[in-house]
Chain A
Amino acid sequence: MKYLSAIQKRQLRGIQVMSLLLVLFSFVFYFNSTKVEDITFGFVIDQEWQLINEWVVASKSGSGLFLLLALIGVALAYLQFRNGKQIVTGGFIFGFGIILAFLCWTASGKFVPFTGILQGAIMFSVPLIFGSLSGLLCEKSGVINIAIEGQLLFAACVSAMIASISQNVFIGLVFAPIAGMLVSFLLAFFAIKYQVDQVILGFVLNVLVIGLTGYIYSKLLVPYGDVWNLGPTFDRTPIPLLSKLPIIGPILFNQTIIVYLMYLIVFVIQFAMFKTRWGLRTRAIGELPIAADSVGIDVNRLRYKNVLLAGLVAGIGGSYFTLGAVGSFTKEMTAGAGFIALACLIFGKWTPRGAVTAALFFGFTTSLQSNLSIIGVSIPSEFMLMVPYIATIIAVSGVVGRVRAPAADGIPYSRGNR
């Protein structure tokens, strides 16, 4: 046996875990499965309930089909491993196959609105994508951002209040990034100027925002709710032509402005981070600030800028909770989304693409869960609710494994202190 590096050993173990899970699930979902009823996958446009197509398959053969897909995923991962590449693609195909096999097994005899699930996946992942991109902007430049939850929550609160008193969603949307940047400013100010431990700082800012918004909520939004907390929401604006595409059209291109902004921001960040001067400098100050300083980059100035930019991004994400959905603010309405976003960032190995994929994965499992609860499957709903979290743990420990943050992440920079 030739010498394997630590990463290769881990990859090999990942493949072993996947194979083991595949064998295990094959028994549950296929060989031991007694469910013979048909399952109907509907491709429905959610709004008009206009059936485009449906696919009826027997529960058992559907499971078998998707288990086969999972097997292909494992095989692909092994091939990737043999060629010395990352095994993530294979891992994702495997995961997708397993999840759908599980769906075939559990929803036997039921109707599954497949497009609805995907639409929900986008819906659940929007704040996570904004949040994890906010974390990315900070951490790539060397400032740990645990305050994502605080940024989202504060922006949600402020945008709802402003939209409510002005009765104008767009004014609300303008103030959301400002609110996010306010939290970001505190993060930057204490982290860069006073060099406070950034993990402590981020956590404390979360508590501060949770307390402050809770206070505002009880003091102002509840007693004077009809003035302060009755905001309008964005309507869906279908993009001409694109929204007419089959299946993906209504899923991707019949959304609110916030979601379109998200597409834009994802592409801009992915491009800018790796193709522009700003991106190169950002990555430099996150990995080795001394070197960046020696070629004349003002490290702390750029960190300030990037942290504020991160607040802007998270702020827009925060407005999705209020302006993009219900209009009014409730206490702690982000419900830990900021922490999930943080997990997505780590899960995605601090890359924009990875973070977005992780967020979509989480959104997909959450949406699957909520749809299955509506369909009514035999598994207790609490276990269904656990699925996204369990899936994330499996994905993190089975496929992603040990990750490496930017080298200078969390270490304050000052010239005298090398």
Chain B
Amino acid sequence: MLRQLKKIKNVTQLPFLAFIFAFLIGGIIIALTDSEVMSNLNSPRKFLTSFLAKIGNSFLAIFQGSIYDVNLARGESFFKGFYPLSDTVVNATPLILAGLAVSLAFKSGLFNIGAQGQFIFGAIGASYIGFNFEFPSLIHIPLALTAGIICAGIYGGFVGFLKAKTGAHEVIVTIMLNYIAAFFLLWLLKTETFLRPGNINPIAPEVKESAQLPLFLGEDLRIHAGIFIALITAIFVWWLLNKSTLGFKFRAVGANANAAKTAGISTSFVTFSTMFICGALAGLGGAVHVLGTNHALGADIGGSYGFDAITVALLGRASVLGTVLAAFLFGALQTSGLNLLSVTGTPFEIVQVIQALIVLFIATPALIKFIFRVKSETAEKTITAKGWNG
């Protein structure tokens, strides 16, 4: 028992300290750039109190904006205070799926920068089925999700196909395909099929009620069934990677492509199928986002989910559980950004800074150990990304 506790401490200590350190730096930046704090510069005591107060207020705003807001609860029910938490989950859902798309690629030695494009294609596919047809919910939702999965799967699989057949580097191709997807979406939203009737703004019709993911905690909260889809998918990806033959092949190619080839694994097949599944995962993220949260396909449907997904996967060190936890953390930080802006007047870009610092410090255990003077065994290094030569 004691041993297990020690093990848990070993695993969690450094990430926790990295987390604290990143928030500390974020707080210092917030305070040092605040005009009110800086106006007290001539009296050290006043400066220090206002400095600390500013940091404290900002962190409180981040907590209230992402998990539980007392102000919301005060007026109405205790339950209502969890509104920010529901938003956190809503924001985390697409990040889990897109993050898994990046993590899975890392596992077989590929760097998938293309989650953004795949996400967009997933949203396109789901939205088309969603607004164009009328079915009972039980058929409509799976059908729309499948459409998103297939569209994005093909889009991702194309990268794998090119890499396997011609050797085109997946980093270049995925970067280019992200732009192409964004422009394709812009064009699509001008076509007759996709443009909402009587509207000049580029937005597609709202998906039919039967295709919308149910709001299982009532109409007041934005939380929808997408989170279950995301979590079930995460379990599936875990099973795929660790328990299935295909996943074994993925990991074998990721660990050492030459050895895998010698052992009779077709690297071309692995490259193609990895990218297909990655595309499908990111696409499912897009589909869930459009069916659950946005309900209509707009030009900005992709947001920066695909880009953030890479940071999520890096923070999660490409493991399934890590990616899911990282997605929740990022979802929470992003949700809190608005509250931070409205309460303390701090631009929400600071959230991005904190996110980057967290990933940076978690990747640098030696620095954290040095700063906090801790002696702990370094967790084994999980290789997440590799150089260009694979």
Contacts and interface: CB of A to CB of B under 8 A. Distances in A.
Interface residues of A, number: 56
A194 B183 CA distance: 40
Interface string A177-219: 0000000000000100010111111011101101110110111
B363 A204 contact: yes
Contact of B352 (A210, A397, A405): A210
Nearest to B364: A194
Interface centre among B113, B171, B180, B184 (most CB of A within 10 A): B180
Contacts of A407: 389
B322 to A, nearest CB: 13
B347 interface: yes
A24 B124 CA distance: 29
A205 B388 contact: no
A361 B342 CA distance: 46
B166 A340 contact: no
Interface in A210-258: 210-212, 214-215, 217-220
A82 interface: no
Interface in B141-165: 162, 165
A346 B351 contact: no
B55 to A, nearest CB: 15
Interface stretch (A28-36, A67-75, A277-285, A386-394): A386-394
Contacts, number: 162
Given A207-B311, A214-B347, A214-B352, A382 B388 contact: no
B311 A389 contact: no
Contacts of A205: 356, 360
A215 B347 contact: yes
Contacts of A94: none
B127 interface: no
A152 to B, nearest CB: 15
Contacts of A288: none
Interface footprint category on B: 35 or more
Contact of B366 (A139, A194, A212): A194
B183 A343 contact: no
A215 B169 contact: no
A215 B25 CA distance: 14
Contacts of B261: none
B52 interface: no
B352 A392 contact: no
Interface in B105-129: 111, 113
B363 A409 contact: no
Contacts of A346: 169, 171-172, 388
Given A215-B350, A340-B175, A386-B184, A410 B314 contact: no
B300 interface: no
A207 B352 contact: yes
A416 interface: no
A200 B385 contact: yes
A199 B29 CA distance: 26
Interface centre among A383, A386, A392 (most CB of B within 10 A): A386
Nearest to B350: A215
Contacts of A397: 162, 165-168, 173
Contacts of B166: 10, 13-14, 397-398, 401-402
A220 to B, nearest CB: 8
B347 A218 contact: yes
Contacts of B353: 208, 211-212, 215
Give the top 5 A-B pairs by smallest Cβ distance, nearest first. Answer: A402-B167, A211-B352, A410-B387, A218-B347, A214-B349
22 contacts: A190-B364, A196-B364, A197-B363, A197-B385, A199-B385, A200-B363, A204-B359, A208-B356, A208-B360, A215-B350, A340-B175, A343-B176, A346-B169, A380-B190, A382-B184, A382-B186, A386-B180, A401-B166, A403-B167, A403-B388, A409-B388, A410-B388
Given A208-B357, A389-B179, 20 more contacts: A10-B166, A194-B366, A197-B384, A200-B363, A201-B363, A203-B310, A207-B359, A214-B347, A215-B353, A336-B175, A342-B175, A343-B171, A343-B172, A389-B177, A393-B168, A393-B176, A396-B168, A397-B162, A397-B165, A409-B389
